[in-house]
Structure 1
Amino acid sequence: TVPVRIFRGSDGTILLRGPPNCEEFQTFQRWVIAHGNTFRYVTFSKDGALFGWCNGEKVNVVKSSTGELLKSFDLPKTSMLEFSPLGKVLVTWKQYTKTQDNPQGEANLQLWDLQTGDCIKTFYQKKVQGWCPSWADDESIAVRCVNNELHFFENNKFETIANKLHLQKVNEFALSPGNNPSKVAVYVPGSKGAPSFVRLYQYPNFAGPTSALANKSFFKADRVTMLWNKKGSAVLVTASTEVDKTGASYYGEQTLHYLATNGESAVVQLPKNGPIYDVSWSPNSSEFCVVYGFMPAKATVFNLKCESVFDFGTGPRNAAFYSPQGHILVLAGFGNLRGQMEVWDVKKYRQVSKPQAADTTHFSWCPDGEHIVTATCSPRLRVSNGYKIWHYTGTVLYKEDTPAGKELWEVLWQPFPAGTFPEKAVKYQAASSELGSTEAKPAQVYRPPALRNKPESSTYKLHEDEPPQNMKPGAAGEKQISKAALKNQRRREAKKAAKQENKSDEVPHLVLEPAPASQAPVTSSHGDPETDKKIKNLKKVYHIKYFELILSYYTSVNSMLAAI
């Protein structure tokens, strides 16, 4: 089985078969060109057997393997489409509009039977957020959020609402993957001093105060992101605020919460302060990785007890990507970072490679767990568009640069059913390629001009990098630190850092000490007590003026230092 990749841009849509050998999918490509290759939106079915797109006039569905046309719908202005998990239903959406002749507008969400081509049901869906219904993997139920309610439909019968879950102001939900019984996580934002909360329910048990499987309430949540693991046994909730009132972060404030279907819930304690950049479940559903903290960010793997399993230390990173088989983890720094990637063998927690892909706006794993694609796409970046196909050992196998004046909009892998590509042993030797690798060069430490001609021992560092460390109890070859000792160590380090910071911010003070008796100044007497008194007062005035002059000088110097 050879994966297919879709590349959509201003020059049209191209399909490539591979890797390791990358070549155009000629059968499909001829059909695409014959029917116009400028696609506004493209998508695969969950198993990759079907491929659909819209071009502003029609919506077409074809077989991915042959390019054979299965269905075509005359649906102008359609901007989004999606398949149900088993490929039985096609969902299309277009922008909601209303006119003077039709003030209510027309239903803009349509569900189509792919066997008969008939329209099953139409709905009004004004917001693009959450536009597509959510299905269970076996399509036994489908869910939509409508006006403080979740509407459940069974067996694709959308004429009748089989069940409802009513919660005031509910505006987010996430249906669990996996087979029956299905679970659903719902989020209700707080109001009038009441906290926000997330609850887990099992369909169709919604009645009664004890029907919820788990409940977690929290403050400081303008929005949430809910992420189920693959087995549907636990969900991670990232709660975010738009503004950090302490002023510590431009990105607002985030907290991470854990809820399980067995009723357990907890706050995931992150050792370093700062934003939460990314949260990713391992495909084995028993671990998850979090990238967090002010730069250089930390990355840590936690188990289902929210205990640290492995700490990757600090580095320039803001994203985490598990391979489909879960045996490799890529930590990357994209966006405003320089595209450094760290490829890790998760079972041994050993680093495999450290390639670099500058200006990357898109990253995704190939379903085979051996290859990845990085791309620079528009509109995030409108220059230097293009893509690269990598082996995880850091070798570039294939690359394509978009010509000047053209744009690349999207890169998409064809998905495959679970188990199609079995897990392979991790390789540490770089795969052979004519294009070679782009191993990241170690960054040179900044040295102020005053230290550039001095020995390396005097190099000044803005921060101390933390090395990776295994947190598993009893791990072979690793120095184990107890929780209490680790806590005390962090406390000592924080105290030391605070002490150094206070020391650097100290203002020099003038301390007037009496001169020792042996160094006491010799005073002369003029014989006239009145004259001696006048001379003494005159000296005192001059001493005060001299002291004020020196104090003024030090004050101005301190102000300049504080400004710097």
Structure 2
Amino acid sequence: MAGGGGPDMEVSDEELMRRAGLRQPQEVCGISSAIVVDNIPEVGKERLAKLEAVVMKIMSRFGTIVGKPYFPIDDNGVTRGYVFLEYRNEKEARSAVETANGYRLDKSHIFTVNLLTDFQKYMDLPDEFTPPEPAEYTREENLRAWLQNNDAHDQYAVLYKGGEGCSIFTNTPNEPVPVHEKDYWTDKYVKWSPQGTYIASLHAQGVILWGGENFSRKRRLFHPNVQMIDFSPCERYMVTFNGAPDHDTDPQAVIIWDVRTGEKLRAFNGQQHKEWPIFKWNFDGSLFARMTENVISVYEAPGCNLLGKESLIIRGVRYFSWSPTDNIIAYWTPEESQVPARVALMELPSRIEIRTMNLFSVADCKIVWHGQGDYLAVKVDRFINNRKKATVANFEVFRMREKQIPVEKLELKDTVQGFAWEPHGTKFAIIHEPQAAHGVSVSFYEMAADKLKHIKTLEKKPVSHIFWSPQGQFVVLAGLKQSNGVFEFYDTSDMTLMNVTEHLMATDVEWDPTGRYVVSQVSWWMQKVDTGYIVWSQQGRLLQRHSVDRFCQLLWRPRPKTLLADEEVKRIKRDRKEYSKIFEVKDRMTHSKASKALVERRRRLMSDFTEYRRRVESEITEAQRKELRGGMDQEDGEFDEEIVEYLVNVDEVILK
């Protein structure tokens, strides 16, 4: 080296690289960024340009393709069914292999994508088979661990800071217990799966599914600019929507995914649909359907092929809905010329109409299923005054479990603003505004064994929404948004008003899955001040109040359907008084422990403050104190004395 250093001063290249914090360049295979896409259409020279454009459009989503794709051609000038592509680097190539493998171009062509370097690996396999070493057993996370909580406490997700923060809490009677917290968990919003197994987060590149005790990443579904998501009731499938333009050969707006494997099952166009969800699932997730003009298309899962040879052609169909417990769809068609409007029930896959009803002077219909599929309510808006004005005339209520499906008619002739079935029961509630009165009324009805029975009407109520407990019986009548945030809690077993509360500017209400708690929220997405949420008991007693910075949403974690038989559930309800004694003792112990913990916490804080004050006082000298008082000594200084009087009480004596 320069400077006359001897051999002992020589430093190797490896040592210089190590000291500089650099790694020595490694030899890289020139084909590590190349891939092979198999199972593409075999076409002649006249269609090669179109095939190249389609392949480039699809594969360019996963990275930047370098150069032109290479299509091997046989002696007849026809492509051999595979193509070679090269990306900028190996990372993009591997991303294309992971994401595009299994891509369905059409029914006959499903892509198989591999790295070009993998072919050499497969060619170098030994002639004799050597059984691999058995992999060490890895225990999978319990995806339903939260159900093992001894006190059956539920969890909920909170999105705050305008969407920048997201936390999972366990709800306890005194205060929520943090379970998991993460910043920038999502770019838009989060959503629980129907049975609570996963929580999905939306991102610019697609959707991520999280689950397990530590909420680790389980699946990643690549769908750029995804806007909306929806699960099947069985949680096995997911539908994603990103609003991409319709394309005849390469639809990308709507994609059906297999949640267990992350496999893309099929893509559909979505521009012609104006409501979400585009696809509606039957009760067990085996069928899904969508509606276009005059057509209802029903598909089977997981194949995503049409049920039968063709779609249902129903002239003028406006709306349809699945029964929540049976393979039955309800739909309605409007009047046309001399043909009346019609509501029909069709059983699938037989396509037999099991019940129809003709309606006249119809402006619109709304179809609402009972949660257990026992009843179907059709709200009919009828024309009056020569079709110049529409008003609600009646409800048609179908008894689905009775022979020939009889129909009950309820005539209101009022403007209806809301309707809701009791989830587990036979009641329903209607918000309506009588024409001859000022104010809103809420009426409760019951589907008795022989007739439709009116229970009670509450008049002049500040109500805009009805929220039934998931278990039935209890209901919250809420005035949301511009209705002053008034909440009335009712027990519908005897129509007792349990409490009247208030949450100003409340925007949402969410019952927990067990029906023990209800949450009112002020979302930052709708209101920019006083955001947060309040937890109430089912009787309307305030339990917790939380002010949260830019609070966006609170979502209770759903619970799967109980495994108990109906007879066992009825027995537990019948013996509820015996269980309640045990729970009351446990609740008192819980509150006692909580009160003791609170006292201990306050004592600890006071002790810490006293110690801090003593330490600071010992560090500051008298001279420093005098300097802080502007050089004035407390003993010889002049102070103004001020007397403050407080009114303690007032005794009022009446003299006769």
Q: Is the TM-score greater than 0.5?
A: yes
Given candidates 513, 523, 537, the residue that maps to 1:377 is 523
- Asked if structure 1 preserves the Cα contact closer than 8 Å seen for 2:376 and 2:398, the reply is yes
Determine what percentage of the aligned residue pairs are the same residue: 19
1:9-66 CA distance string (max 9 Å, x none):
414323222042443534x32xx33xx3244132211111111121222310011643
1:236 CA drift (Å): 1.1
Structure 1 residue ranges without an equivalent (≥5): 435-564
- Asked if structure 2 preserves the Cα contact closer than 8 Å seen for 1:297 and 1:318, the reply is no
Larger relative contact order, structure 1 or 2 (CA cutoff 8 Å, min sep 6): 1
1:257 aligns with 2:257: no
Amino acid at match of 1:231: Q
Higher mean C-alpha displacement, 80-89 vs 196-205:
196-205
Amino acid at match of 1:331: L
Amino acid at match of 2:173: P
Given candidates 221, 225, 232, the residue that maps to 1:77 is 225
- Asked if structure 2 preserves the Cα contact closer than 8 Å seen for 1:196 and 1:221, the reply is no
**1:128-167 aligned within 5 A:** 128-162=274-308, 164-167=311-314
Given candidates 239, 251, 270, the residue that maps to 1:106 is 251
1:415 CA drift (Å): 0.9
1:274 aligns with 2:420: no
**1:324-473 aligned within 5 A:** 324-403=470-549, 406=550, 408-419=551-562
* Residues 221 and 325 (structure 1), Cα distance of their counterparts in 2 relative to 1, 3 Å cut: same
Amino acid at match of 1:227: V
Give me the whole-angstrom Cα distance separating, in 2, the residues matched to 1:218 and 1:412: 42
Give me the whole-angstrom Cα distance separating, in 2, the residues matched to 1:234 and 1:340: 30
Amino acid at match of 2:154: P
Which residue is 2:357 aligned to? Answer: 215
1:171 aligns with 2:318: yes
Which residue is 1:204 aligned to? Answer: 349
- Asked if structure 2 preserves the Cα contact closer than 8 Å seen for 1:53 and 1:61, the reply is yes
1:78-136 CA distance string (max 9 Å, x none):
011122111111211111326xxx79873311011122221101111122414342222
* Residues 226 and 57 (structure 1), Cα distance of their counterparts in 2 relative to 1, 3 Å cut: same
Amino acid at match of 1:58: G
- Asked if structure 1 preserves the Cα contact closer than 8 Å seen for 2:421 and 2:429, the reply is yes
The root-mean-square deviation of aligned C-alpha atoms, in Å, is 3.4
Given candidates 178, 194, 198, the residue that maps to 1:50 is 198
- Asked if structure 2 preserves the Cα contact closer than 8 Å seen for 1:93 and 1:131, the reply is no
Structure 2 residue ranges without an equivalent (≥5): 1-151, 564-568, 596-656
Given candidates 144, 165, 169, the residue that maps to 1:12 is 165
Question: Which structure features the higher share of helix residues?
Answer: 2
* Residues 368 and 231 (structure 1), Cα distance of their counterparts in 2 relative to 1, 3 Å cut: closer
Give me the whole-angstrom Cα distance separating, in 1, the residues matched to 2:548 and 2:284: 40
- Asked if structure 2 preserves the Cα contact closer than 8 Å seen for 1:214 and 1:265, the reply is no
Which residue is 1:288 aligned to? Answer: 428
1:377 CA drift (Å): 1.9
1:299 aligns with 2:446: no
1:449-505 CA distance string (max 9 Å, x none):
xxxxxxxxxxxxxxxxxxxxxxxxxxxxxxxxxxxxxxxxxxxxxxxxxxxxxxxxx
Query: SS of the residue aligned with 2:363?
Result: coil
* Residues 265 and 370 (structure 1), Cα distance of their counterparts in 2 relative to 1, 3 Å cut: same
Query: SS of the residue aligned with 2:411?
Result: coil
1:124 aligns with 2:277: no
1:352 CA drift (Å): 1.6
Give me the whole-angstrom Cα distance separating, in 2, the residues matched to 1:160 and 1:296: 46
- Asked if structure 2 preserves the Cα contact closer than 8 Å seen for 1:200 and 1:215, the reply is no
Amino acid at match of 2:225: K
Which residue is 1:460 aligned to? Answer: none
Which residue is 2:55 aligned to? Answer: none
- Asked if structure 1 preserves the Cα contact closer than 8 Å seen for 2:230 and 2:277, the reply is no
Which residue is 2:377 aligned to? Answer: 236
Amino acid at match of 1:96: A
1:200 CA drift (Å): 1.1
Which residue is 1:461 aligned to? Answer: none
Give me the whole-angstrom Cα distance separating, in 2, the residues matched to 1:265 and 1:365: 31
Give me the whole-angstrom Cα distance separating, in 1, the residues matched to 2:172 and 2:393: 39
**1:440-519 aligned within 5 A:** none
- Asked if structure 2 preserves the Cα contact closer than 8 Å seen for 1:91 and 1:111, the reply is yes
* Residues 247 and 112 (structure 1), Cα distance of their counterparts in 2 relative to 1, 3 Å cut: closer
Give me the whole-angstrom Cα distance separating, in 1, the residues matched to 2:453 and 2:331: 27
1:323 CA drift (Å): 0.8
Tell me the matched-pair count.
412
Give me the whole-angstrom Cα distance separating, in 2, the residues matched to 1:161 and 1:103: 21
Larger Cα Rg: Structure 1 or Structure 2? 2
* Residues 287 and 103 (structure 1), Cα distance of their counterparts in 2 relative to 1, 3 Å cut: closer
Higher mean C-alpha displacement, 300-309 vs 145-154:
300-309
- Asked if structure 1 preserves the Cα contact closer than 8 Å seen for 2:297 and 2:306, the reply is no
* Residues 131 and 334 (structure 1), Cα distance of their counterparts in 2 relative to 1, 3 Å cut: closer
**1:14-29 aligned within 5 A:** 14-23=167-176, 25-26=178-179, 28-29=180-181
1:167-220 CA distance string (max 9 Å, x none):
112131100012x4x11101212334644322111212325xxx3323242423
Higher mean C-alpha displacement, 74-83 vs 11-20:
11-20
Query: SS of the residue aligned with 1:390?
Result: strand
Which residue is 2:49 aligned to? Answer: none
Give me the whole-angstrom Cα distance separating, in 2, the residues matched to 1:220 and 1:142: 29
* Residues 338 and 170 (structure 1), Cα distance of their counterparts in 2 relative to 1, 3 Å cut: same
